[in-house]
Chain A
Amino acid sequence: MPVTLTAASAAVTSAAVPLHRALGLTDDELDAIRDRLGRDPNHLELAIFSVMWSEHCSYKSSKPLLRTLPTQGEGVVAGPGENAGVISIGDGLAVAFKIESHNHPSAVEPYQGAATGVGGILRDIFTMGARPIAVLDALRFGDPGDVRTRHLVDGVVRGVGGYGNCVGVPTVGGELVFDPSYQGNPLVNVMAIGLLDERRLTLAAAPGPGNLVILFGSTTGRDGIGGASVLASSTFTHDDPSKRPSVQVGDPFAEKLLIEASLELIERELVEGLQDLGAGGISCATSETADRAGTGMLIDLDAVPRREPDMAAYEVMISESQERMLAVVRPDREAAVREVCARWGLPCAVIGRVTADGDIAIVEGGLDDSGAAAAGARELARIPAAALTSDAIVHDRIGAAPVHARAAPAPGIPEWPSDGLPERGMDPGAVLLALLGSPNLASRRPVFEQYDSTVQVNTVAGPGRGAAVLRVKGTTKALVATTDANAPVSGIDPWLGAALSVAEASRNVSITGARPLGVTNCLNFGDPTRPEAFWQLSEAVRGLGDACRALGLPVTGGNVSLYNESASGAILPTPEIGVVGILDDIATLIGPAFVEAGDSVVLVGEAVPGLAGSEYARLAGAAPGDGPPVLDLEREAALQRFIREAVAGGLAASAQDVSGGGLAVALAEAAMWGGIGGRLRIPVASSPAADLFGESPSRIVVTCRPRRLEALVLLARQHGLPVDELGVAGGDRLLIDLGNGGATGPAEGRGSHVADALDVSLADLEHAWSRGLGRALGWDEVD
């Protein structure tokens, strides 16, 4: 009784390629499958292995690296391995959060790729028993002037909005970054956050042999056959039409019903375990839940509700049709579960039983009343659940630093920085305006206005100005969340880039006064079988771990996206970091904008030279001899402790992170957003470009009432932090005196004439900043 993979085997055997290779499995992997089964796999089993042992499902290249990350921390209730990390926030509540990629589907079909990315991560959240309360989307594309990039941006933004807006989960933050390395391979990383009653925490396990396996939600079709394994697990060419059917199609209305039905099932304690169906479909959901509980499952393939006829067994088992859930239910609760599903209009079917033998067994011909295969039923496949999940293959890849990395310049700045500033004209104000209007720093309003950011009435601070702030109803608390990734520096030094990403994300949470709780990460890298790409991944994971340990942050989950390469090459290594924090008393919250004229403006932390990887370098031309900035993780931790104490003590009126575009951009944003200018003085050390536009980390601009200044400065010094009084907020211009020595000294020595002051009106700043993105993308003014 050979089980044939009609379409796949017909296509591949004719080409005389062995089936396992056509399915993406290597010869070694086939041997490993034989070891685990003690025999040859049949075609259906091979198809299931090919999906479950794909990079996306198995983490076979990254698992050894990820094991090195710190996962323990205060309040961690669920960590890596579950659908989402869960951390207690007191009052009997917990926050669930996770970030995931949907890069390759979005490159093929941007609307559906992005939409189903949102849908998938939301399911990871409510599967845990949490109501999704927010989405953040971190997007990266190629040249914004390119026609294809514009098509992708438009489709992805509409897809994120089309899904999130409909399900009623606000999109409260994220990123939008343009870099040529993403030209053929855009990145769509979506983070979701949920809130749950700790007593309702639900795990994706299948305990209790004899329990029913119930599939509810949408029916199963041919969309997204092998989407995860096909799309996310091999190097990618965007014009390959054969991959188009691999993209899943999203139905946010069905998802909304699925959210309500799932949360109702959990609230009424009707399920023993719950798992969403994502990558790998039924194969993945059954084997993961069984393996976690040390059980097996007997699955009746005929019982799976389908949306099209004549589906082959392998298609049913690996379909990635969206908006489906798998529940493990005690037999006496079946009727109640069916009633809930019926109320929400969702199809629901018992597709099998939990067994004690540890195998995923698939039959056609039905089960009898006792839950055993009916007389005359055929067994199509039998695989130990562990072989598909915890005991899946792991590869020890080889990493090697690229030659140019060994020759990379030391951090710091050379004696004569070729920073480009003098060549751009003598007015640093003009450089500031150019930076503010550049695609990566200009206002993201044209994009985030297409998202509903206020539904659920929790949004205290939405997209556009630093971290998002969501109040927690019924408490004095707020959740604070952000995503960050420093890809340019990761391209130079992946350890440093990943550590900087963690530092910046955590800093963005801390400057509101909130305590960062934990980290979720999405590691977007190239082909791990290339030693250089694997070296980048392993260095980045080392940086991620080092930074998390230094800042006391547990890594509670995430996702790895490899093979982000196209004909034009690999992407910049992009370690996307999501951080969620808790603010105990929302009354103490501060924002980044200047608050009141007359307030003192202070810089805490000091600039270390190093322009490589900065937005300034992108705009003014690279500085070849220039290294990236230095990161001192101890100082970063001290800075974050300082600002949290300053906020709790009521010393600070505002705090703004110095990051993309450097100190000048940080000041310009704080001034624009507050509608208050400033008269400031920045003592320029060696290079005006490094001081004004350098992105050296561990620095924040803090404002305070003048009478609080002394206490604020004292607190900073107690934490061992350098403090510079920059001046006073007020007026309708941003005026920065560059000091005497620095600006005209070394610069004149280079034969240039840097202006003594930067002096720009708020109106001009606002004009440049607000129009930059629409102009770069060629979007008409929405108004």
Chain B
Amino acid sequence: MPARIGVVVFPGSNCDRDTMYALSLAGAEPVELWHEQASLDAIDGVILPGGFAYGDYLRAGVIARFSPVVRAVTAFADRGGLVLGICNGFQVLAEAGLVPGALLRNRGLRFLGRDVHIAAERVDTPFTAGLIAGRPLRMPIAHGEGCYFADDATLDELERDGQVLFRYVGGDGAAVGADDGARHPDNPNGSLRAIAGVLNTAGNVAGLMPHPERAAEGLLGSDDGAGIIRSFVAAAAGRASGRVADPNVAAAGVGAGSGR
């Protein structure tokens, strides 16, 4: 049975179709989760895709965090469900407090769309189990607010607890360096400690700024992102046998949202 992965669609999401396409390539069954939907059912994992949820005119993700679906996703995560936020999805997760830190405007104060390299710090998570530690993965970024920020104490804590999931690296896998890493050319947006992706403390929610779903086929220049999608799908499938029922849905007897 393929893993059923919910893909959240806010008004203004624009990577929802790409994410569903990449999930299909990875053998999963993508399911649209409309932003007004207040419960999830028979879902093995959730991806919050990229875009500009609700226009993001105020600050990326700040309105989306109050949407019904984010409340549902929060409940899903609290029950141990797997949640991945990509780009705008990461921003929404950070605004909702589901992952630590914040995403500020890029250091260069301009939107940046280019290929970058990232490497997984840990390969024992549901998001990275199919990756090789430290190996550089090439995939695009496309964001204006991707500069990862947290205070020093939080950053130290993240490092200590293994919550740094991905860092920007050079094309050869070289670290960008701790001292002046924020200004290193391989760190495109000036993220502190070159952090490209983080985990929550429980290890079931992750966010990253680069777009693995855009690097899932060699035809488009890189399939390095496919490993992240496949890892996520495999971990979700592993949980499919014991799908966590949404108590709200069970009580109300309502099926999953129909979407568009």
Chain A residues proximal to chain B, CB less than 8 Å: 158, 161-162, 165-168, 251-254, 256-257, 260, 264, 343-345, 448-460, 471, 473, 586, 780, 782-783
Can you list 24 residue pairs at the A/B interface with Cβ under 8 Å? A161-B111, A162-B111, A165-B113, A168-B14, A168-B51, A251-B55, A252-B52, A252-B55, A253-B55, A253-B57, A257-B11, A264-B260, A343-B260, A344-B11, A449-B114, A450-B111, A451-B113, A452-B113, A453-B113, A453-B142, A454-B142, A455-B14, A457-B18, A457-B22
Establish whether residues B113 and A473, one from each chain, have CB atoms under 8 Å apart when the complex forms: no
Which of A165, A455, A473 is most buried by chain B, counting CB atoms within 10 A of its CB?
A: A455
Bound together, the chains give a CA A158 to CA B140 distance in angstroms of 19
Bound together, the chains give a CA A344 to CA B35 distance in angstroms of 11
Bound together, the chains give a CA A458 to CA B211 distance in angstroms of 14
- List A contacts of B50 (CB < 8 A): 455
Q: Mark B10-32, 1 if CB is under 8 A from A, else 0.
A: 01101101100110000000000
Bound together, the chains give a CA A352 to CA B90 distance in angstroms of 45
Determine whether B1 belongs to the interface, using a CB cutoff of 8 Å to chain A. Answer: no
Establish whether residues A166 and B52, one from each chain, have CB atoms under 8 Å apart when the complex forms: yes
- List A contacts of B17 (CB < 8 A): 456
Q: State how many angstroms separate the Cβ of A176 from the closest Cβ of chain B.
A: 16
Query: What range describes how many residues of B lie at the interface?
Result: 35 or more
- List A contacts of B15 (CB < 8 A): 168, 455
Bound together, the chains give a CA A449 to CA B15 distance in angstroms of 18
Bound together, the chains give a CA A229 to CA B12 distance in angstroms of 32
For A340, the closest partner residue in chain B by CB is B260
Across the A-B interface, give the 7 residue pairs with the lowest CB-CB distance, nearest first: A168-B14, A253-B55, A783-B185, A452-B142, A782-B108, A454-B140, A166-B52
Establish whether residues B113 and A454, one from each chain, have CB atoms under 8 Å apart when the complex forms: yes
Determine whether B213 belongs to the interface, using a CB cutoff of 8 Å to chain A. Answer: yes
Establish whether residues B213 and A457, one from each chain, have CB atoms under 8 Å apart when the complex forms: yes
For A154, the closest partner residue in chain B by CB is B110
Determine whether B54 belongs to the interface, using a CB cutoff of 8 Å to chain A. Answer: yes
Determine whether B219 belongs to the interface, using a CB cutoff of 8 Å to chain A. Answer: yes
Establish whether residues B11 and A256, one from each chain, have CB atoms under 8 Å apart when the complex forms: yes
Chain B residues proximal to chain A, CB less than 8 Å: 11-12, 14-15, 17-18, 21-22, 50-52, 54-57, 108, 110-114, 140, 142, 144, 184-185, 188, 211, 213-214, 216-217, 219-221, 260
- List B contacts of A456 (CB < 8 A): 17-18
Bound together, the chains give a CA A94 to CA B221 distance in angstroms of 26
- List B contacts of A782 (CB < 8 A): 108, 110, 112
Establish whether residues A253 and B52, one from each chain, have CB atoms under 8 Å apart when the complex forms: yes
Bound together, the chains give a CA A251 to CA B110 distance in angstroms of 19
Establish whether residues A450 and B214, one from each chain, have CB atoms under 8 Å apart when the complex forms: no
For B183, the closest partner residue in chain A by CB is A783
Bound together, the chains give a CA A165 to CA B188 distance in angstroms of 18
- List B contacts of A264 (CB < 8 A): 260
From A252, A449, A460, give the contact of B220 (CB < 8 A): A460
- List A contacts of B140 (CB < 8 A): 454
Taking A458-B220, A783-B108 as known contacts, 10 extra A-B pairs with beta carbons closer than 8 A to each other, sorted by chain A number, are A166-B12, A343-B260, A453-B142, A454-B113, A455-B14, A455-B50, A456-B17, A459-B220, A460-B219, A460-B220
Establish whether residues A165 and B11, one from each chain, have CB atoms under 8 Å apart when the complex forms: no
- List B contacts of A460 (CB < 8 A): 219-221
Establish whether residues B14 and A454, one from each chain, have CB atoms under 8 Å apart when the complex forms: no
Q: State how many angstroms separate the Cβ of A260 from the closest Cβ of chain B.
A: 8
- List B contacts of A453 (CB < 8 A): 113, 142
